[in-house]
Structure 1
Amino acid sequence: MSNQQPIHVFSEIGKLKKVMLHRPGAELENLMPDFLERLLFDDIPFLEDAQKEHDAFAEALRAEGVEVVYLEDLTAEALTTDEIRSAFIEEYLEEANIRGAQTKVAIREMLMNIKDNKELVLKTMAGVQKAELPEIPEESKGLTDLVESDYPFAIDPMPNLYFTRDPFATMANGVSLNHMYSETRNRETLYGKYVFKFHPEYKDADVPMVYDRSEDTRIEGGDELVLSKDVLAVGISQRTDAASIEKLMKNVFEKGLGFKKVLAFEFANNRKFMHLDTVFTMIDYDKFTIHPEIEGELRVFSVTPDGKGGLNIVEEKAALADVLAENLGLEKVELIRCGAGNVVAAAREQWNDGSNTLTIAPGVAVVYDRNTVTNKKLEEYGIRLIKIRGSELVRGRGGPRCMSMPLVREDI
């Protein structure tokens, strides 16, 4: 494989060589029942067990020859000068929605006094409780400080960060640095910005950016799939606008990443189907997992460049399996249904990310062990499964694909 670029992802199934994770941290301990919806969580994971499960996930990848790197380490390594470090802190504070000028001053001082870069990065991820800050003298308080509510955080935590798939997405030699659905998660993309701009491995590589976090329409990495070196799939979902897909595609075609077509998948807009990869993933040359509940209402559009700087958009009328086979140059593909097609098992196991597989080589996938019905069906189709526990990790509503950002895959 020729891999002179630090980003090299031309498929969903090529042998995974390097992947970025984020080990769950103190941000999970700042989840509170009253504010779960605000932070896009349904439950509160037990951090100690979540870390054990995540460490086992990372170890399973290493055992398959995958190099594992961590978002927190890459970001810390990107803060190579005092100027970059200070700029990172200021940008973080600017986006943190801090209410009260004196509160912001106190937090800036707190962060500037953290000397270790990784400790600093982890603190920005964890958020800041008001109880951590010194009491502001009454005479120094502004109006906002005086009338502020009883909300316990000066800066919200970022508990979704262990789902590294979403803040940015890799495709070919480029990156989509995303604008997220929620303000809570949009701050996560700051780490990607500093990694690709300042990290020694990436700063001189001139990594093409096919989407930018400053855009005003949303897109997330769980909706971005690389089906082949020629074809992307992007979901129109709760988290991704159709307008974003048009912007992404124009940039992909203009920057010459090699893709010739995008298949846009439109499906139900709700939390249980929040991303395309929660209902549809590729696990072999000719095999896909799919949640049967989306099939009836699913619409697929082909998007190609029109040669004039615009796009041709055509709705595909054929069955999904036929559309995929045609676009992948195959006689046929198999759609392996979550829950083996049983309506109860499918609903239960899709909620626990039975369709959210991480393929690490053709026909080899990482899955949660708890999805027994779906896993048995995958094995009947000849898929080798690497089963990991996810009793705590799954409480954030994400599976192995959600928790991983491929940086390098072998070509297929």
Structure 2
Amino acid sequence: MDKMFVKNSTGVLKKVLMCRPTYLKAVPINEIAKKWETTELDVEKMEKEHRSLVEAYEANGVEVVMVDSDSRRGNSVFSRDFGGCIREGYILGNFKESVRFLEREVYKDKMDELGIPMVAECKKGLFEGGDFTFLDDNTLAIGMVARSNEKGIDEIRRSLSKYGYKVIAVPCDEKYLHLDLCFNLVDEKLAVAYREGLPKEFLKTLEDMGIETIDITEESVFNHGCNLQSIGNKRVISLKQNTYVNEELRKRGITVIDLDITEILKAGGGPHCMTFPLSRI
């Protein structure tokens, strides 16, 4: 391997891929957006919120690369979802919802431009990056929720076997959309989780790996209580509204950068969804 891209989910974040929310609408393709589908989202407010996230990254030494926004793919702001990045390169996913189909080639072209090799691709199965996380440097968990399926996970597992990764499927109720609404690793041995929404086998895996959880309620799932972004060195980007989680993180020595983001959330995604890690060491 000539270059390492993303080592895990909690190392020092150096570079991310993002897209502005210029054309974002509350398309009713998830439980959160369904509540807002008749509401015209405030574009000026969303742009301001997105800038605050970009500025938080830059203030903490994270380089931000942008994909151009486009009226034909408003959900591109949730850049996380086109795939996942590992040490050797990236996994290209496969979208379930037609409103997101155009994103795949745009993000693929951007990764080519950035010189990041594709090491796995879902062609027959489904996989979105909101379901993807490292548990440690060699263990990957992939949610099997609403947008990723067994066929897609099997494709990834076969492609990554030569690199020595263990790939764990995590089935959850599809109303939770992606794994990152129910589970998010924020430090090497610390996660925020809605335990009742996760399978017992996965909870046992976390216990065996010594991963502690800050537990949230189901109501908090749909308020993005888990949708945080670790930037490494015990720093986490969160939302101001996550008062309980933020307090619990601080009790454990985590520096919390809490952003006032509310409008973008109405489309169904938070800081984690808006961030595709390109380099994490």
Verify same fold: TM over 0.5. Answer: yes
Q: Tell me which amino acid in the other structure corresponds to 1:209.
A: V
Shift of 1:8: 0.5
* 1:190-236 deviation digits (Å, cap 9, x = unpaired): 11222234x2x31xx6x133114xx1221100111122321111111
* 2:135–2:185 contact (8 Å) kept in structure 1: yes
Question: C-alpha offsets along residues 13-32 of structure 1, whole Å, 9 cap, x if unaligned?
Answer: 0100001111111x23xx48
CA distance in 2, matches of 1:55, 1:231: 33
**2:274 pairs with 1:403:** yes
Aligned to 1:266: 171
Distance 1:299 1:187, change over 3 A: farther
Name whichever structure is richer in helix by fraction.
1
Mark the structure with the bigger radius of gyration.
1
Kindly indicate whether residue 224 of structure 2 is the aligned counterpart of residue 294 of structure 1: no
Q: Counterpart in 1 of 2:253?
A: 382
What is the aligned length?
Answer: 276
Q: 2:55 aligns with which of 46, 56, 59?
A: 59
Secondary structure, aligned partner of 2:5: coil
Q: Secondary structure at the match of 1:395?
A: helix
Q: Which residue of 1 aligns with 2:109?
A: 194
8 Å CA contact 1:279–1:350 kept in 2: the answer is: yes
Question: Shift of residue 39 of structure 1?
Answer: 9.0
Please report how far the alpha carbon of residue 299 of structure 1 lies from its aligned counterpart in structure 2 after TM superposition.
4.1
1:368 aligned residue: 239
Does the CA contact (< 8 Å) of 1:24 and 1:162 recur in 2?
A: yes
8 Å CA contact 2:10, 2:188 repeated in 1: yes
**SS of corresponding position for 1:377:** helix
Assess if the C-alpha contact under 8 Å between 2:229 and 2:236 holds in 1.
yes
Consecutive aligned runs of 4 or more in structure 1 exceeding 4 Å deviation: none
| TM-score normalised by structure 2 residue count | 0.91
Q: Which has the higher contact order (CA 8 A, sep 6+)?
A: 2
| C-alpha contact (below 8 Å) 1:290/1:355 kept by paired residues | yes
Identity of aligned residues (%): 26
Name the counterpart of 1:321. Answer: 206
1:251-295 Cα shifts (integer Å, max 9, x gaps): 0113x3x42x1122111122xx11111110111111111013314
In structure 2, the residue corresponding to 1:238 is in which secondary structure? coil
Of the three residues 160, 173, 176, the one matched with 2:91 is 176
Assess, with a 3 A threshold, how the Cα gap between structure 1 residues 278 and 383 changes in structure 2: closer, same or farther.
Answer: same
Q: What CA RMSD, in Å, does the superposition of the two structures yield over aligned residues? A: 2.1
What does 1:3-402 align with in structure 2 at a 5 Å threshold? 4-5=2-3, 8-25=5-22, 27-28=23-24, 31=25, 36-37=27-28, 41-42=33-34, 43=36, 44-72=40-68, 122=69, 125-127=70-72, 158-197=73-112, 199=113, 201-202=114-115, 207-212=117-122, 215-254=123-162, 256=163, 258-259=164-165, 261-270=166-175, 273-295=176-198, 297-300=199-202, 319-323=204-208, 325=209, 332-338=210-216, 346-402=217-273
1:165 & 1:236 partners in 2: Cα distance? 16
> Amino acid of the residue matched to residue 179 of structure 1?
N
* Contact 2:136-2:188 within 8 A present in 1 as well: no
CA contact (8 A) 1:222 1:276 kept: yes
Aligned partner of residue 165 in structure 1, secondary structure: helix
- Rounded to whole Å, the distance in 2 between the matches of 1:322 and 1:351 is 25
Residues 1:356 and 1:38: Cα distance change in structure 2 (over 3 Å): closer
Runs (5+) with no aligned partner, structure 1: 73-121, 128-157, 301-317, 326-331, 339-345
**TM-score, L = length of structure 1:** 0.63
Matches of 1:233 and 1:363, distance apart in 2: 21
Give the match's secondary structure for 2:79: coil
Shift of 1:337: 0.7
**Partner secondary structure for residue 65 of structure 1:** coil
Q: Which amino acid aligns with 2:262?
A: S
Mark the runs of 5 or more structure 2 residues left unpaired by the alignment. Answer: none
Taking the aligned partners of 2:11 and 2:111, their CA distance within structure 1 comes to: 23
SS of 2:16's equivalent in the other structure is strand
Note the alpha carbon deviations across 1:97-127, whole angstroms, 9 max, x for none. xxxxxxxxxxxxxxxxxxxxxxxxx4xx203
